[in-house]
């Protein structure tokens, strides 16, 4: 697993505090409690790399993780856990702050290669998700959707949810958006998602 060596670097409250904008980086986004931190842990194969919680809004910073060096001269590679919101308990002022920071991050970050957008397969395409897709479309960034917690649905239901998501993505933007079924609990789709991340980092 090429993501296994991921290491915590720092947590930032604003983009100016992030590591130097060089090399390649992939961001993980999603509503509070969607399962971002769990997905990061599943992909890196580290149980406690990113903090997970039953309480929505646990990750209230941008958290940067460093990966071991890839090809020579390709520069540093990072994963970034973006703060999630969309839960009533996150105060509006904080939402506005992160809306602004995430927008600026997606627009300005030159090392950013793509966004992994994590949605609960039972509650897809909420306002936050649509906003993220709009941001990605506006900036031309690749976005790959993980429909996570698929272990909560039957195979058939999960397949239906995926078809419906692909239709919605296609309507928003014919190229650059993709989706798959995922579960951090039973590891469904972990290899596929890892290939997407590695493909972006090593492109
Ligand atoms: P915030 O940081 O609070 O925004 O949340 P997050 O998106 O990082 O979610 P987190 O990974 O902390 O997971 C939230 C809850 O969902 C936890 O109770 C997890 O155990 C649970 N969870 C995450 N992924 C899965 C999954 O694939 N299947 C199931 N059944 N539960 C999951
Ligand atoms: Mg989290």
The predicted model gives 138-148 an average pLDDT of: 96
Note whether residue 2 is domain-resident.
Answer: no
Is 133 domain-assigned? yes
Can you tell me the distance from the alpha carbon of 21 to that of 36, in angstroms, rounded to the nearest whole number?
22
189 vs 203, residue with greater confidence: 189
Kindly provide the b/e burial profile for residues 71-110, where b requires at least 16 CB atoms within 10 angstroms of the residue's own CB: eeeeebbbbbbbbbbbeeebeeeeeebbeebbbebbeebe
Indicate the pLDDT class of residue 54, thresholds 50, 70 and 90: low
Query: Could you tell me the CA-to-CA distances from 32 to 91, 128, 200 in Å, in that order?
Result: 13, 10, 25
Whole-number pLDDT of residue 174: 82
**Is the minimum distance from the CB of 56 to ligand 1 under 6 angstroms?**
yes
Task: Write out the two tokens for 118.
Answer: 């994590």
Closest-lying ligand to the alpha carbon of 52? Answer: 1
Q: Which residues contact 91 (CB under 8 A, 6 or more apart)?
A: none
Domain count, the chain: 1
Mean pLDDT of the 118-130 span:
96
Q: Are 191 and 184 in contact (CB under 8 A)?
A: no
Provide the percentage of residues in the chain whose pLDDT is more than 70.
Answer: 94
- Across residues 83-91, what is the average pLDDT? 76
For residue 1, tell me if it sits in a domain: no
Task: Please report, for the domain that includes residue 72, its CATH number.
Answer: 3.40.50.300
Q: Give a yes or no: residue 91 inside a domain.
A: yes
Report every protein residue that has its C-beta within 5 angstroms of ion ligand 2: 36-37, 58-59
Which residues span the domain enclosing 170?
7-201
Backbone angles phi, psi at 40, to 5 degrees: -60, -45
Looking at per-residue pLDDT, the higher value among 52 and 1 belongs to: 1
Average pLDDT over residues 167-179: 94
Q: Which of 129, 102, 105 is nearest to 34 (CA)?
A: 129
pLDDT value of residue 2: 87
* Domain-embedded: residue 116: yes
State the pLDDT at residue 199. 95
State the distance from the centre of ligand 2 to the C-alpha of 99, rounded, in angstroms: 16
pLDDT for residue 59 = 58
Contacts of 111 (CB under 8 A, 6+ apart): 21, 22, 23, 24, 25, 78
User: What is the pTM (predicted TM-score) of this model?
Assistant: 0.95
Q: Cα separation of 26 and 24, whole Å?
A: 7
Residue 73: the pLDDT is 63
Residue 118 has pLDDT above 60, yes or no: yes
Q: Look at the block and give the residue holding tokens 């890196």.
A: 44
Work out the average pLDDT over 164-185: 95
- Ligand 1: residue whose CA is nearest its atom 17: 54
99 part of a folded domain: yes
Identify whether 64 is part of a domain: yes
* Residue 57 predicted with pLDDT over 70: no
Which of 54, 53, 52, 30 minimizes the C-alpha distance to 41?
52
Mean pLDDT of 127-132: 94
With a cut of 0.90, is the ipTM above it?
yes
**What is the 3-state secondary structure of 29-90?**
EECCCCCHHHHHHHHHCCCCCCCCCCCCCCCCCEEEEEECCCCCCCCCEEEEECCCCCCCCC
Ligand 1 pocket, 54 CB below 6 A? yes
Residue 153 lies in a domain: yes
The mean pLDDT value of the chain amounts to 91
Task: Determine the pLDDT at residue 90.
Answer: 76
Closest by CA position to 40, among listed 61, 57, 63, 21: 63
66-80 pLDDT per residue, tens = 998 766 567 899 999
| Minimum CA distance residue for ligand 1 atom 14 | 33
């Amino acid at each position: 697993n090429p993501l296994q060596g991921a290491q915590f670097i720092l947590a930032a409250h604003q983009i100016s505090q992030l590591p130097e904008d060089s090399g390649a980086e992939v961001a993980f986004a999603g509503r509070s409690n969607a399962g971002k931190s769990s997905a990061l842990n599943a992909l890196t194969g580290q149980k406690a790399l990113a903090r997970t919680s039953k309480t929505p809004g646990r990750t209230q910073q941008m958290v940067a993780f460093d990966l071991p060096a890839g090809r020579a001269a390709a520069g540093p590679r990072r994963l970034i856990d973006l703060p999630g919101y969309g839960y009533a308990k996150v105060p509006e002022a904080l939402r506005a702050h992160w809306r602004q920071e995430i927008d600026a991050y997606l627009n300005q970050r030159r090392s950013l290669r793509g966004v992994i957008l994590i949605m609960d397969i039972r509650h897809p395409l909420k306002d936050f998700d649509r906003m993220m897709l709009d941001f990605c479309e506006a900036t031309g960034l690749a976005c790959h959707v993980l429909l996570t917690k698929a272990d909560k649905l039957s195979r058939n239901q999960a397949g239906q949810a995926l078809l419906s998501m692909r239709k919605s993505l296609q309507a928003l933007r014919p190229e650059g958006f993709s989706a798959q079924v995922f579960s951090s609990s039973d590891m469904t789709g972990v290899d596929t998602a890892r290939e997407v991340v590695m493909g972006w980092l090593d492109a």
